[in-house]
Amino acid sequence: MKKISLRNKILVALSAVGPGLFLIGYNIGTGSVTTMAKTGAEYGMSLFWALILSCFFTYILMVAYGKVTLVTGRTALYNIKSEIKGGWVLSLYIIFALIIGELLALMGVMGIVADLVQEGVRLAFEGYSMSRFWIILFFSIILYVLLWYGRYQMFEKVLTVLVILMGLSFVVVFFMVSPSVDALTEGIVPSIPDTPGALGLIAAITGTTCSAAVFIIRSTVVAEKGWGIRDLKTEKRDAAVSAAMMLFLSGVIMAVAAGTLHVSGLRLENTVEMIELFEPIGGEFAAFVLIIGITGAGLSTIFPIVLIAPWLIADYTGRPRNIHSKQSRWLIFLAMLFAFGTVFLDERPPALMVFSQAFQACILPAVAIPIFLLINRSRVMHEHKASKSLNIGIFAVILFALLTSWFALEEFL
């Protein structure tokens, strides 16, 4: 029998969890980094429970949405439109809400990436300042060319590289700053701090981790992978890997901030400030590693964001997903224009990210309730209806979604 090399084993393992890696790249972006770092800096690990719950509920809904797609052969919005009375209204609401939320996020993400590259150039070239416009234009052209010629399989590979780069960067910084065990465990007992902004951060943790867009896109990327009913076990394993990696990477970011900034009494208001605060703690090299990691996180988020409009429209209409069609290329081009938003707006990128994450938390009930109805409908699922444990899990997600939506409304309205 031919011996399989370690490299080939790794490639086979990565190919088996393609949709999961795609969603890690989508979910762990600059918004996640900012939210987790701000949470760790201000509250230590006391809100880690919210991250654990969000990742667990993310796993449940990814399994549910993936399973319905595998059984029906149809994507999420098409199922909602076709199988639920008045579902076309709900589907259109989800489309418009997700596109608005993602375009706001795109402005914030690209603005933060530009700020980070500016900071990296300043550190490398002794104070030299590069225009944010030219930085955004540079990345926009590269991304648009990749999207013009690329296919899903290529995006999966690019996102795999960015996810690995991002993960390694955060782990390296964690060991470089060496936060004490006491600092990490001191505040891990679940609690809700009675301070302004705490409810907003819980909603932001939910919005950036248990994101409504993730579950709609989950359905599409499972379909792109070509999986069928025989791949139910693979789909569950893929969802578990994705949720576990989200928990690990987000937890590392929170722990780094908790073990360094929190114990020093330092607060965090934006992502670039995070680099400036870490530089005296971990040194200039740690600052560069963080810049690389967070930039990788941001770029890995942009791919799915600019694809969301073409994919959602294809999902709703039941048409083939063709990102090289004239309509898709125009939609992607229009989305990329929003990347320049922070160049012309007074609002800072982190503020846009927080708002977009809270907005995502408010959409979560609209995607949690329909999947509960679909996965329990005999004519849709036949013998593959949800088990009792999965139903309990989805019902818990619905309650959690309603609670965090209230948190978001309470904090931001």
Mean pLDDT in residue range 29-46: 78
Q: Which is higher by pLDDT, 144 or 373?
A: 373
pLDDT at 371 (0 to 100): 94
pLDDT at residue 16 greater than cutoff 50:
no
Mean pLDDT of the chain: 78
Distance, in Å, from the CA atom of 187 to the CA atom of 48, rounded to the nearest integer, reads 9
SS (H, E, C) the chain: CCCCCHHHHHHHHHHHCHHHHHHHHHHCCHHHHHHHHHHHHHHCCCCHHHHHHHHHHHHHHHHHHHHHHHHHCCCHHHHHHHHCCCHHHHHHHHHHHHHHHHHHHHHHHHHHHHHHHHHHHHHHCCCCCCCHHHHHHHHHHHHHHHHHHCCHHHHHHHHHHHHHHHHHHHHHHHHHHCCCHHHHHCCCCCCCCCCCCHHHHHHHHHHHHCCHHHHHHHHHHHHHHCCCHHHHHHHHHHHHHHHHHHHHHHHHHHHHHHHHHHCCCCCCCCHHHHHHHHHHHHHHHHHHHHHHHHHHHHHHHHHHHHHHHHHHHHHHHCCCCCCCCHHHHHHHHHHHHHHHHHHHCCCCHHHHHHHHHHHHHHHHHHHHHHHHHHHCCHHHHHHHCCCHHHHHHHHHHHHHHHHHHHHHHHHHC
For 67-106, write each residue's pLDDT tens digit. Answer: 999 999 888 899 999 999 888 999 998 888 888 877 877 8
pLDDT band with cut points at 50, 70 and 90 for residue 276: low
pLDDT at 15 (0 to 100): 47
* Across 172-186, 317-331, 342-356, least confident range: 342-356
pLDDT at residue 9 greater than cutoff 50:
no
In b/e form, how buried is each residue of 239-249, taking b as 16+ CB within 10 angstroms? Answer: bebbbebbbbb
* Contact (CB, 8 A) for 357 and 208: yes
pLDDT at 278 (0 to 100): 64
* Across 164-168, 319-323, 374-378, 390-394, least confident range: 164-168
Mean pLDDT in residue range 1-28: 51
Share of the chain above pLDDT 70, in %: 77
pLDDT at residue 374 greater than cutoff 60:
yes
pLDDT at residue 370 greater than cutoff 90:
yes
**Residue that is written with structure tokens 């990788």 in the block:** 296
Taken in order 93, 355, 208, 199, the sign of the CA dihedral is: negative
pLDDT at 200 (0 to 100): 75
- The terminus-to-terminus CA distance of the chain in angstroms comes to 65
For 140-177, write each residue's pLDDT tens digit. Answer: 888 888 778 766 566 666 666 766 776 777 777 777 76
pLDDT band with cut points at 50, 70 and 90 for residue 356: low
Taken in order 222, 227, 228, 233, the sign of the CA dihedral is: negative
pLDDT at 11 (0 to 100): 45
pLDDT at 13 (0 to 100): 46
